[in-house]
Amino acid sequence: MARNQGLQPPRGTRDFYPDELRLRSWLFGHFREVARRFAFEEVDAPIVEHADLFIRKAGEEIVEQLYHFELHGRHLALRPELTPSISRMVIARAGALRFPLRWYAIGQNWRYERMTRGRKREHYQWNVEVLGEPSVSAEAELIAAIFTLFDRVGLPTTAVRMRVNSRALLEETLRKGVLRDRPEAFEPLCVVIDKIDKIGAEAVTDLLTGEIGLSANEARTVVEGLAVRSLDEAAARVPDGSAAAAELRRLFELLDAYGVADRVAFDASVVRGLAYYTGVVFEAFDAGGTLRAVCGGGRYDGLIEQLGGPALPAAGFGFGDVVIQELLSDHGLLPELAREVEAVVFAVSEAERPAAVRTVRRLREAGRAAELVLGTPRLKRAMQDADRAGAREIWVIGPDEAARGVARVRDLESGEQRDEKLPDGRS
């Protein structure tokens, strides 16, 4: 309705009606349960931050698409991701924290961009971070947590595959060349390389020689290297004794111990679009290849120091709520979730309401989800409502029952009825 456009949420944002919020809560419940089993602690931060926290100069889209505004002379922004906020929290208390930390958060992120399937302008993200651990044991733990989540929501083991690479490996190949005198060129270089699937090898080669300043030879070597899909082959392209290659080998060993190595493959084209990644990077994709990345992450050993904190190694991933729901929908795995009302208490007339209130209080104190019918509709109506709410029982208190000091309890599944004593009136 054009007339009612003001009633629609802004483009790319969502309302969550009860059905949709139940589904979201179901998903978040799995996020939290996996995090619990992996012994991560939940944290949270404001959705609005100082814009500076997110603004970097490597040409990332995530910065260009920032929702930001000036208010009373302050430049603020809606967070586009959670990692900077968590990093900020760590820095503020770095002196009092014991590392490594295992933290996670589930929060809404904002990015002003065009929409397609699986992408909106706001989305919730499960963000899991290991802070203060330099070894790939951190990445292995993170990747294992992701697969645990996939398994829990019912996806077959073949439905999602993880692609892994290491930016450190790429950096090693350039250390004696273009990066010798200006290591700071590495971040924008990665941002450029990340575009290869979209703008093509030639355009990336042009950008590498033009904007980044590689020689034609270096650029060609880099672009060729992106096609490599074997760790051995990739390792052969870097100097002997490559630390990055050894790390990747160790990572695959550990993933084998976690039982997920066969779902993970080396892929040199994975570099991720965020500037701050420094080491292992990874992305999970649906096997059908019809959706965008389900989740992704990697190691960012320099970010915390760049933000003004100590030199603290860190790794983490972000896992959005939108793509996974699309994927589950494609697999017919979205659950039908009903309301969780257990009992409905109904006073036939206002005279019985105090007794109904005492009754519903007792049920609630016993931990049951109990709804008190607020008006005095006909019994037929109250039962219909109870039925539709999925309640197991309706407790009816009318003049007869009140006189006998009982409630008539009907089991809505079996239709059987019994009497339950009313609580006495003194409580």
Q: With CB under 7 A as the contact rule, which of the stretches 67-75, 130-138, 144-152, 270-278 interacts with RNA?
A: 270-278
Residue 129 sits in the site that holds RNA (CB under 7 A): no
387 — phi, psi (to 5°)?
A: -60, -45
**Site mask, RNA, residues 25-64, x = CB under 7 A?**
-----------------------------------xxx--
* Cα separation, 283 vs 154, whole angstroms: 20
Q: Which of 72, 176, 380, 426 binds RNA (CB under 7 A)?
A: 380
Looking at residues 318 to 337 of the shown chain, list those that interact with RNA (rule: CB under 7 A): 318, 320, 322
Q: With CB under 7 A as the contact rule, which of the stretches 138-146, 153-161, 377-385, 418-426 interacts with RNA?
A: 377-385
Sheet containing 101-110: order of strands: 41-42, 101-110, 122-131, 314-320, 295-299, 280-286, 160-166, 264-266
Do 229 and 111 meet the contact criterion of CB atoms below 8 Å apart? no
C-beta of 384: minimal distance to RNA in Å? 4
Q: Which is nearer to RNA, 414 or 427 (CB)?
A: 414
Q: Which of 415, 425, 426, 427 binds RNA (CB under 7 A)?
A: 415
**Site mask, RNA, residues 62-81, x = CB under 7 A?**
x------------------x
Q: With CB under 7 A as the contact rule, which of the stretches 93-101, 212-220, 250-258, 405-413 interacts with RNA?
A: 405-413
Q: Which is nearer to RNA, 238 or 318 (CB)?
A: 318
| Burial status of residue 376 (CB atoms within 10 A of its CB: 0-12, 13-18, 19 or more) | middle
Q: Which of 188, 296, 313, 316 binds RNA (CB under 7 A)?
A: 296
> Distance of alpha carbon 63 from its chain centroid, rounded?
20
* Cα separation, 133 vs 111, whole angstroms: 30
C-beta of 122: minimal distance to RNA in Å? 7
* Closest by CA position to 293, among listed 271, 314, 313: 271
Task: Give residue for tokens 């003004």.
Answer: 308
**Site mask, RNA, residues 196-225, x = CB under 7 A?**
-xxx--------------------------
Q: Which of 93, 176, 378, 426 binds RNA (CB under 7 A)?
A: 378
Do 136 and 247 meet the contact criterion of CB atoms below 8 Å apart? yes
Binding residue count for RNA, defined by CB under 7 A: 59
Q: Which of 36, 37, 74, 117 binds RNA (CB under 7 A)?
A: 117
Residue 412 sits in the site that holds RNA (CB under 7 A): yes
Looking at residues 92 to 111 of the shown chain, list those that interact with RNA (rule: CB under 7 A): 109, 111
Residue 279 sits in the site that holds RNA (CB under 7 A): no
C-beta of 196: minimal distance to RNA in Å? 9
C-beta of 232: minimal distance to RNA in Å? 27
C-beta of 412: minimal distance to RNA in Å? 3
Task: Give residue for tokens 């930016």.
Answer: 167
C-beta of 107: minimal distance to RNA in Å? 11
Residue 87 sits in the site that holds RNA (CB under 7 A): no
* Cα separation, 319 vs 104, whole angstroms: 11
| Burial status of residue 337 (CB atoms within 10 A of its CB: 0-12, 13-18, 19 or more) | middle
Q: Which of 79, 121, 263, 299 binds RNA (CB under 7 A)?
A: 121
* Closest by CA position to 130, among listed 168, 182, 87, 180: 87
Residue 191 sits in the site that holds RNA (CB under 7 A): yes
C-beta of 192: minimal distance to RNA in Å? 9
Give the interface with RNA as residue ranges (CB under 7 A): 1-3, 5, 8, 11, 60-62, 81, 109, 111, 113-117, 119-121, 123, 125, 191, 194-195, 197-199, 272-274, 292-293, 295-296, 318, 320, 322, 348, 378-381, 383-384, 387-388, 396, 398-401, 408, 410, 412-415, 417
